[in-house]
């Protein structure tokens, strides 16, 4: 698992932090030809491109921890994105018993990513 240099996930909510190694282990099964592996492109960094009320900003999170992160998919088979969302949602939901929002954003652009957020 890698992340962009400016990405901050140090204060990511515990539920999301615990999910990262699992998602990282699933990534090469889903995308075996992706030499870069799972790449986090946004966490809870305070200087970002998200909308004002985004849960990427800790100030908008009810628990005081980052409640969202993004995973790059611009360089993998994007037609699999909806399946990846279903797999990730199921795995995290079964393990953590929490509801999540997981969906692809900006498909077919250089900003294509999967958004993962606590509900």
Mutual angle of helices 81-96 and 14-30, in 10-degree steps: 140
63 vs 56 pLDDT, higher one? 63
> Taking all residues of the chain, what is their mean pLDDT, rounded to a whole number?
89
Its pTM stands at: 0.89
Determine how many CB atoms are found less than 10 A away from the CB of residue 8: 19
Domain boundaries, the chain: 2-118
Q: Which fold has domain 2-118?
A: Muramoyl-pentapeptide Carboxypeptidase; domain 2 (3.30.1380)
The string of pLDDT tens digits covering residues 1-18 is 999 888 889 989 999 999
Binned at pLDDT 50, 70 and 90, residue 19 comes out as very high
């Amino acid at each position: 698992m890698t992340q962009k240099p400016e990405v901050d996930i140090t204060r990511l909510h515990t539920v999301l932090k615990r999910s990262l190694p699992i998602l990282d282990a699933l990534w090469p099964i889903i995308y075996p030809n992706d030499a870069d592996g799972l790449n986090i492109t946004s966490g809870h960094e305070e200087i970002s491109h998200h909308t004002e009320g985004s849960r990427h900003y800790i100030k908008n999170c009810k628990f005081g921890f980052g409640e969202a992160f993004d995973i790059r998919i611009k360089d993998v088979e994007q037609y699999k994105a909806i399946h990846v969302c279903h797999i990730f949602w199921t795995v995290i939901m079964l393990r953590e018993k929490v509801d999540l929002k997981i969906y692809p954003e900006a498909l077919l652009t250089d900003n294509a990513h999967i958004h993962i957020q606590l509900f």
